[in-house]
Structure 1
Amino acid sequence: MIPFLLIIAFIIVFSIFYSGQHRKKKATGDFPPSWRLVLDEKVGFYRNLSDDEKKRFENDVMRFLVNVRVTGIETTVDITDKLLVASSAAIPVFGFPEWDYTFLDEVLLYPGHFDRDYDIGSKDEAILGMVGSGNLQGKMILSKPALHEGFSNKSDKHNVGIHEFIHLLDKEDGSIDGIPTILNNKAYARPWLDLIHASIKDILKGKSDIDVYGATNESEFLAVVGEYFFERPELLKKNHPDLYALLAQAFHQDMAAKRDVPAKATIERNDPCPCGKGEKFKKCCGA
Structure 2
Amino acid sequence: MIYGIGFLLLIGFVIYGFISTRKKDVEVFPANWHNLLIKHVHFYKNLPVAEQKRFQSRMMLFLSEVHLDSVGFELDDLDKILIASSAVIPVFNFPEWYYKSLSTVLVYPDHFNEDLGFAQTDENRQIAGMVGNGQFKNQMLLSRKALHSGFKKKLHIHNTGIHEFVHLIDKQDGIIDGVPERLIQEPYVIPWLKTIHKKMEDINNNTSDIRNYGGTNEAEFLAVASEYFFERPKLMKKKHPDLYQMLKVCFRVKDE
Alignment TM-score > 0.5, same fold: yes
**Residue 129 of structure 1: aligned partner:** 129
What amino acid sits opposite 2:22 in the alignment? Answer: K
Cα RMSD (Å) of the superposition? Answer: 2.1
**Residue 111 of structure 1: aligned partner:** 109
What amino acid sits opposite 1:87 in the alignment? Answer: S
TM-aligned CA deviation for residue 122 of structure 1: 2.6
1:25 aligns with 2:29: no
1:251 and 1:24 map into 2 onto residues whose CA distance is 27
**Residue 75 of structure 1: aligned partner:** 73
CA contact (8 A) 1:180 1:250 kept: no
The 1:121/1:112 distance shift into structure 2, 3 A limit, reads farther
CA contact (8 A) 1:73 1:111 kept: yes
What amino acid sits opposite 1:189 in the alignment? Answer: V
2:132 and 2:111 map into 1 onto residues whose CA distance is 15
Structure index of larger Rg: 1
Q: Which digits, 9 at most, give the CA deviation of each residue in 1:72-129, with x for residues without a partner?
A: 1012211111111000000000011221211111111101111123222433440000
What amino acid sits opposite 2:66 in the alignment? Answer: V
The 1:169/1:121 distance shift into structure 2, 3 A limit, reads farther
What amino acid sits opposite 1:112 in the alignment? Answer: D
**Residue 51 of structure 1: aligned partner:** 49
The 1:144/1:29 distance shift into structure 2, 3 A limit, reads closer
TM-aligned CA deviation for residue 39 of structure 1: 1.0
SS at match of 2:130: strand
SS at match of 1:130: strand
1:193 and 1:182 map into 2 onto residues whose CA distance is 16
**Residue 91 of structure 2: aligned partner:** 93
TM-aligned CA deviation for residue 181 of structure 1: 2.2
2:49 and 2:84 map into 1 onto residues whose CA distance is 19
Which residues of 2 match residues 259-274 of structure 1 at below 5 A?
Answer: none
**Residue 100 of structure 2: aligned partner:** 102
Q: Which digits, 9 at most, give the CA deviation of each residue in 1:56-82, with x for residues without a partner?
A: 100010011111111110122111111
- In structure 2, runs of 5+ residues without a counterpart are 1-16
**Residue 192 of structure 1: aligned partner:** 192
**Residue 206 of structure 2: aligned partner:** 206
Runs of 4+ in structure 1 deviating by more than 4 angstroms, as ranges, are 20-24
What amino acid sits opposite 1:79 in the alignment? Answer: D
Structure possessing the higher relative contact order (Cα contacts under 8 Å, 6 or more residues apart): 1
CA contact (8 A) 2:86 2:162 kept: yes
The 1:121/1:168 distance shift into structure 2, 3 A limit, reads farther
- In structure 1, runs of 5+ residues without a counterpart are 1-19, 258-287
CA contact (8 A) 2:28 2:60 kept: no
CA contact (8 A) 2:202 2:208 kept: yes
2:145 and 2:179 map into 1 onto residues whose CA distance is 29
CA contact (8 A) 1:113 1:121 kept: no
Count of equivalent residues: 238
TM-aligned CA deviation for residue 140 of structure 1: 0.5
The 1:40/1:123 distance shift into structure 2, 3 A limit, reads same
1:37 and 1:23 map into 2 onto residues whose CA distance is 30
SS at match of 1:49: coil
TM-score between both structures, scaled by the size of structure 2: 0.87
What amino acid sits opposite 2:126 in the alignment? Answer: A
1:238 aligns with 2:238: yes
What amino acid sits opposite 2:87 in the alignment? Answer: A
1:104 and 1:28 map into 2 onto residues whose CA distance is 17
**Residue 65 of structure 1: aligned partner:** 63
TM-aligned CA deviation for residue 134 of structure 1: 1.3
Q: Which digits, 9 at most, give the CA deviation of each residue in 1:153-194, with x for residues without a partner?
A: 254211100000000011111111101224543310000001
2:170 and 2:103 map into 1 onto residues whose CA distance is 17
**Residue 8 of structure 2: aligned partner:** none
